[in-house]
């Protein structure tokens, strides 16, 4: 695989990095304390075409690649993970399922605003008793004439309650399927629920450890009625289709984590050169220098693994194991670099206005969201043929 960026890819990364440094970073602490998604920044990202990067021009996209999207997510994640994940989830979980599995009518209805960044969409999979075990889903959808009637709840759903959220796609039990051995399993399907549909209630925003600017809510569905044509993809393929979207999303999530690890490295390196103790910069202390060298190694490794996964995905090659490796390696790199950067900053690193303090709070979810580290290990061992 070629790990060099093309001139166009480098130009894209530089453009988003400049935007992150001049627009996102100066506002990050303010919005973090307000715990509010800055819609004016999201609008600018839409005008830059970031939400349309991996989609063809005929649906309003930029005609780029998934790799392009990941470059943008990494550049944003350097300075503000909340903004980075808003883009990552907005595309990977919001737009991509509709683009991949939607009918022509669904794509025509929803894609223009989503791809342009004028609207956001969420994907409701996780429930109180169904996260890694999505087969435990309890939300139901019953076909009543030409309408689905949905009842149940979801939790931890990103981009689900903003003023510009247009829809949430939810997984629901729509019946039962008989396996070849005669056993019965739940039939899971995906259904589009537009915002404002009667009975669709968005709960209060969570009080989270980190990602304060990112929009995250619990959802409740009480006799929610939507047209039968809001079924997304084939009936009974909801979980399978989501797994494909999740594999892809893990690559962008890895790029986000790599950006976070890079941001911590940059802050630690700057501070180590500027902070003078006992007459010399602390970076002259071998212990500090070695710590930063290890931070650089983690960033380099994390970037290589997500580049590898993204290149394989764009080339149409198998990438399931590579996506899990990228997500696991980069998530750990972000958390380790955040911890080391905070230690290097000392007391200043414990102050919330410090970027490394925000990364320290934000990075833990990178080992949990879109599949925990343990889930990634399960995927890798199965791909290696070690677990049935």
pLDDT (tens digit per residue) in 293-322: 999 999 999 999 999 999 999 999 999 999
Question: Nearest Cα to 165, choosing from 69, 252, 93, 257?
Answer: 93
Strand, helix or coil at 253?
Answer: helix
Cα separation of 28 and 202, whole Å?
25
Q: Which of 88, 248, 332, 370 is catalytic?
A: 370
The predicted structure's pLDDT at residue 181: 79
pLDDT tens, position by position, 239-251: 888 888 889 999 9
pTM of the full predicted structure?
0.95
**Complete DSSP assignment for 185-226:** EEEEEEEEEETT-TTEEE-PPP--SS--SS-EEEEEEEEEEE
Asked whether residue 388 carries a pLDDT value surpassing 60, the answer given is no
pLDDT tens, position by position, 25-62: 999 999 999 999 999 999 999 999 999 999 999 999 99
The predicted structure's pLDDT at residue 314: 96
Asked whether residue 98 carries a pLDDT value surpassing 60, the answer given is yes
355-363 and 25-34 helices, crossing angle to 10°: 60
Instruction: Report residue 349's pLDDT band, with 50, 70 and 90 as the boundaries.
Output: very high
**Complete DSSP assignment for 115-166:** HTTSSEEEEE--BTTBSS-GGG---EEEEETTEEEEEEEEEEEETSSSTTEE
Average pLDDT value for residue range 95-112: 96
CATH homologous superfamily of 121-237 equals Butyryl-CoA Dehydrogenase, subunit A, domain 2 (2.40.110.10)
Q: What are the distances in angstroms from CA 228 to CA 120, 232, 242?
A: 22, 10, 19
* 370 noted as active-site residue: yes
How high is the mean pLDDT of the chain?
A: 95
Domains 7-120 and 240-383 share a fold: no
Average pLDDT value for residue range 64-81: 98
Average pLDDT value for residue range 128-143: 86
**Complete DSSP assignment for 69-81:** HHHHHHHHHTT-H
CATH 3.90.550.10 correct for 7-120: no
Spans of all domains in the chain: 7-120, 121-237, 240-383
Average pLDDT value for residue range 74-89: 98
Choose which CATH entry (1.10.10.60, 3.30.390.10, 1.20.140.10, 3.40.50.20) describes domain 240-383: 1.20.140.10
The predicted structure's pLDDT at residue 122: 96
Asked whether residue 18 carries a pLDDT value surpassing 70, the answer given is yes
The predicted structure's pLDDT at residue 1: 61
């Amino acid at each position: 695989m070629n790990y060099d960026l093309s001139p166009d890819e480098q130009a894209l990364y530089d453009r988003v990095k400049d935007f992150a440094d001049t627009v996102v970073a100066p506002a990050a602490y303010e919005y973090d304390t307000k715990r509010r998604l800055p819609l004016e920044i999201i609008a600018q990202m839409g005008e830059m075409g970031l939400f349309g990067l991996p989609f063809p021009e005929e649906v309003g996209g930029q005609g780029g690649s998934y790799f392009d999207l990941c470059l943008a997510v990494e550049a944003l994640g350097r300075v503000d993970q909340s903004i980075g994940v808003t883009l990552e989830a907005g595309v990977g979980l919001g737009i991509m399922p509709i683009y991949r599995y939607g009918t022509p009518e669904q794509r025509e209805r929803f894609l223009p605003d989503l791809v342009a960044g004028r609207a956001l969409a969420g994907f409701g999979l996780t429930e109180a008793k169904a996260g890694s075990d999505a087969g435990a889903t309890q939300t139901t959808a019953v076909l009543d004439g030409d309408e689905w009637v949905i009842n149940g709840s979801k939790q931890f759903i990103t981009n689900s309650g903003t003023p510009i959220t247009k829809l949430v796609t939810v997984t629901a039990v729509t019946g039962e399927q008989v396996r070849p051995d005669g056993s019965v399993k739940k039939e899971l399907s995906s259904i589009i629920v537009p915002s404002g549909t009667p009975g669709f209630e968005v709960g209060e925003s969570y009080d989270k450890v980190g990602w304060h600017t990112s929009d995250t809510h619990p959802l409740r569905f009480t006799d929610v009625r939507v047209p039968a044509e809001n079924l997304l993809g084939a009936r009974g393929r909801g979980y399978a289709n989501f797994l494909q979207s999740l594999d892809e999303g893990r690559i962008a999530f890895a790029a986000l984590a790599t950006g976070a690890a890079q941001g911590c490295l940059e802050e630690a390196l700057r501070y180590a050169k500027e902070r003078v103790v006992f007459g010399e910069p602390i970076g002259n202390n071998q212990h500090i220098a070695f710590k930063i060298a290890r931070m650089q190694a983690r960033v380099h490794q994390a970037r290589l693994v997500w580049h590898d996964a993204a290149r394989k995905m764009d080339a149409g090659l198998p990438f399931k194991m590579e996506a899990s490796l990228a997500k696991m390696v980069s998530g750990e790199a972000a958390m380790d670099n955040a911890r080391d950067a905070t230690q290097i900053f000392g007391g200043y690193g414990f102050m919330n206005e410090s970027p490394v303090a925000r990364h320290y709070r934000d990075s833990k979810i990178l080992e949990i969201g879109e599949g925990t580290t343990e889930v990634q290990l399960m995927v890798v061992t199965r791909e290696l043929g070690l677990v049935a």
